Structure 1
Amino acid sequence: MNGDHSDDNLIIVRAFGVPEATGAAMIGLDGTGGRWQADVPGGSREVTVAWPIEIAERRDIRRAAVELYRAACRELGVEPRAEEQHPTHLAGQHGQHAHHGEQGNPHGASHLHGASRPHGAHGTDARETAGFARELREATWGDHGDSEGADFMADIMRGRGTRTDYAQLVVQHWFMYEALERASALLAADPLLAAVHPAELIRRDALISDLEALIGADWRDAIEAVPATTAYAARIDELAEQGWIAGILAHHYTRYLGDLSGGQAIARRVSGQFGGEGVSFYDFSTLGDLGGFKDMYRRVLDAFGATLDADERARMLDEVRAAYRFNTEVFVDLGRARALA
């Protein structure tokens, strides 16, 4: 919910417990409800909201979240996004090749200037057509809760993580983005995809700055990837070696759109807790309007998807799901490492 549906988080939180919230991120869920961290003037609050329907199996979570969003819109007098007004369209299964309503996450900027007007980039709005960008978001909706519910990230979002915890997350980003940005050179060289990987998006210098601030000048000698990060980077390198553009784009989409969306909530949380240190990674101010960039990204995804046959589209959707699993496994490994420290 923290990417494509970051706007939905705020609507839900404002409707069901924290009307003064200025931002919100989902930090966990179970069979009874979801948990959100709400940004409020002067701090933050955690809020739990019960699902409006019974959860019998994992696929019910998506329908429950949609129903909760629609109920929140009614409570606030907000018009739901166009595709969320038809529950029969939204109740589709998240099968391997399913096409159904819509995330929101792990991918969108905040879509609210106020509680009454949803708008924005990666989150769905009335302008979004039934293109490939929307298909990616719909097919991966159920994966977001798994990733964002990992205890390690939940602690960071609750303000319970330590400076060392956050530093270890940045370390993993270094290894991930070394591989991702090598592979993304293939996107930059493709006339159709070059726009989604401008120089301003590259995180290498920002990560170096953050690691120097968090660990010290000798950070290169002090860092180590957890096993899941090593596997994640190896997968991206494998895709680059194969020259599979759609696979590289799947990981590019998952990581960068998350950074531009839910990542901004992480930056606010960490910056407030640790005095603004070590968050250059999340600073995309040189891109200009982030909403505009994400709108452009979605248009490129739609155009790219139109060049793929059904099998290749399904294969790319599977790779996006794999990217979410890799991210979840990284969080789990970080939690294990912390427990053993």
Structure 2
Amino acid sequence: MNFGADVVAGVTGHMNGDHSEDNLLIARAFGYPGAMSSEMIGVNGEAGVWRVSDDAGEHELSVPWPGGSISERPQIRREVVALYRAACERLGVEPRQEHGSAPAVHAHGEVAHGEAAHSEAGPRAGHGRHAAGDEGSAPSDGSGQKPFSRVLREGSWSDHSDSEGATFMEDIMRGRGSLADYVDLVAQHYFMYEALEEAAAKVADDPAFTGFHSEALVRLPALEADLAHLIGPDWRERISAVPATEAYAARMREVGDEGWVAGVVAHHYTRYLGDLSGGQFIAKRVARQHELQHEGIAFYDFSELGSLTEFKDGYRAELDRLGASLSAEEQARMLDEVRAAYAFNTAVFVDLGRAKANA
């Protein structure tokens, strides 16, 4: 069983971004006791896969799932947590307390975090952070209702579906994609964010939106710099949007023209939180494979935001506040828009894969 690239990107991005020490524990417990670094690079129905470095060099480590073969997305979290516990037992390390539900894996690499803040200082055995793969469980707001950020996360789980065209992103995530593949992805990002930031500007003065958008989030200048570096000064004449990107951009502009704040936030949320989560892993992978420094991957640099974990927690608090101001009908409409955004994004991967196959 092979999971789609959206799932693989989300899981590996989360593990490498938020649980790097857990990766190291698993590597040391299951084959490389002298491991100095460990990065999760794959997930399939039989095992998790890590790239491990020690004094002897670099190795690929495949660790079978303790519970046997899996075929469903929610089972991944269960098995990763089981591996973490088993690693702790082998190494004599006290495991952290697990709690909460399975993580939601977004179509372009985001794993939605629970509302409990994560420490940026790094995990310590038995202290401070959730267990590997655990997102925590968002509490109710005191009225028995789930926070709206959790409603969005859980209500869209079924839409993070596998896609036959998603091998395009899987190749990039596994280091099999070419530099040309990455450039094609950057080009699509340009058209997406041109539309998204236009839509955001349309509602920028609405009090319901101001808490979501920081100037440090704006991506167009970084994308322009990346494309100039990757393609050359004539990059505008050399890129084009695939049909799915055109449809995606058209929908974002339509929502902005309508002045529908919740709809703009639906697209804002799915894109930017993906960039701040799984996107950070994509940047590291591409930088290493293609020997890029800041130029070429500036799109993923959000250092001006400060702690990304704190920013994402604050963003989800804004989602909760927005949700509290919406009627049930408007909440449902916004969730539908979030689901539509995931579908658009997956369709882009399909189109990119098809264009590559036909080239």
User: After TM superposition, is the score higher than 0.5?
Assistant: yes
Matches within 5 A, 1:259-270: 259-270=275-286
Match of 2:85 in 1: 74
Match of 1:114 in 2: 123
Change (3 A) 1:119 1:208: farther
Q: Deviations over 1:142-197 (max 9, x none)?
A: 44453698111111111111111100000000000000001112453222331321
1:202 to 212, 218, 221: 218
| Aligned partner of residue 40 in structure 2, secondary structure | strand
Change (3 A) 1:127 1:236: closer
Matches within 5 A, 1:28-107: 29=44, 32-33=45-46, 36=49, 38=51, 40=53, 45=60, 47=62, 49-50=64-65, 52=67, 61-75=72-86, 76=88, 77-84=94-101, 102-105=103-106, 106-107=109-110
Change (3 A) 1:312 1:78: farther
Note if contact 2:27-2:50 (Cα within 8 Å) is conserved in structure 1.
Answer: no
Note if contact 1:128-1:134 (Cα within 8 Å) is conserved in structure 2.
Answer: no
- Greater alpha carbon shift after TM alignment, 46-55 vs 211-220: 46-55
Deviation at 1:324, TM superposition (A): 1.2
Query: What stretches of structure 1 of length at least 5 have no aligned partner?
Result: 85-100
Change (3 A) 1:43 1:180: farther
Match of 1:300 in 2: 318
| Aligned partner of residue 118 in structure 1, secondary structure | coil
Q: 2-side partners of 1:231 and 1:159: how far apart? A: 29
Match of 1:233 in 2: 249
Matches within 5 A, 1:1-341: 2-3=9-10, 6-8=13-15, 10=19, 20=35, 21-24=37-40, 29=44, 32-33=45-46, 36=49, 38=51, 40=53, 45=60, 47=62, 49-50=64-65, 52=67, 61-75=72-86, 76=88, 77-84=94-101, 102-105=103-106, 106-107=109-110, 113-114=122-123, 116=125, 117-118=128-129, 124-125=135-136, 130-144=146-160, 146=162, 150-276=166-292, 277-341=295-359
Q: 2-side partners of 1:39 and 1:331: how far apart? A: 29
Q: 2-side partners of 1:5 and 1:274: how far apart? A: 19
Q: 2-side partners of 1:235 and 1:212: how far apart? A: 27
Q: 2-side partners of 1:249 and 1:318: how far apart? A: 12
Deviation at 1:43, TM superposition (A): 6.0
Match of 1:93 in 2: none
Deviation at 1:328, TM superposition (A): 1.0
Q: 1-side partners of 2:59 and 2:219: how far apart? A: 28
Change (3 A) 1:23 1:298: farther
Q: 2-side partners of 1:193 and 1:81: how far apart? A: 34
| Aligned partner of residue 150 in structure 1, secondary structure | helix
Change (3 A) 1:213 1:5: closer
Change (3 A) 1:61 1:187: farther
Query: What stretches of structure 2 of length at least 5 have no aligned partner?
Result: 1-6, 30-34, 89-93, 141-145
Note if contact 2:280-2:300 (Cα within 8 Å) is conserved in structure 1.
Answer: yes
Letter in 2 for 1:161: G
| Aligned partner of residue 233 in structure 1, secondary structure | helix
Change (3 A) 1:184 1:166: same
Q: Deviations over 1:131-150 (max 9, x none)?
A: 11122222223444536981
Note if contact 2:13-2:282 (Cα within 8 Å) is conserved in structure 1.
Answer: no
Q: Once superposed, what is the RMSD of the aligned Cα atoms?
A: 3.3
Give the percent of matched residue pairs that are identical in Structure 1 and Structure 2: 45
Note if contact 2:38-2:52 (Cα within 8 Å) is conserved in structure 1.
Answer: yes
Deviation at 1:302, TM superposition (A): 0.6
Report which of the two structures shows the higher radius of gyration computed on alpha carbons. 2
**Corresponding pairs, count:** 316
Note if contact 2:14-2:277 (Cα within 8 Å) is conserved in structure 1.
Answer: no
Note if contact 1:52-1:64 (Cα within 8 Å) is conserved in structure 2.
Answer: no
Deviation at 1:223, TM superposition (A): 0.5
Deviation at 1:274, TM superposition (A): 1.5
Deviation at 1:51, TM superposition (A): 8.0
Change (3 A) 1:48 1:204: farther
| Aligned partner of residue 100 in structure 2, secondary structure | helix
Change (3 A) 1:322 1:126: closer
Q: 2-side partners of 1:23 and 1:339: how far apart? A: 29
Q: Deviations over 1:255-279 (max 9, x none)?
A: 0000000000000001111122410
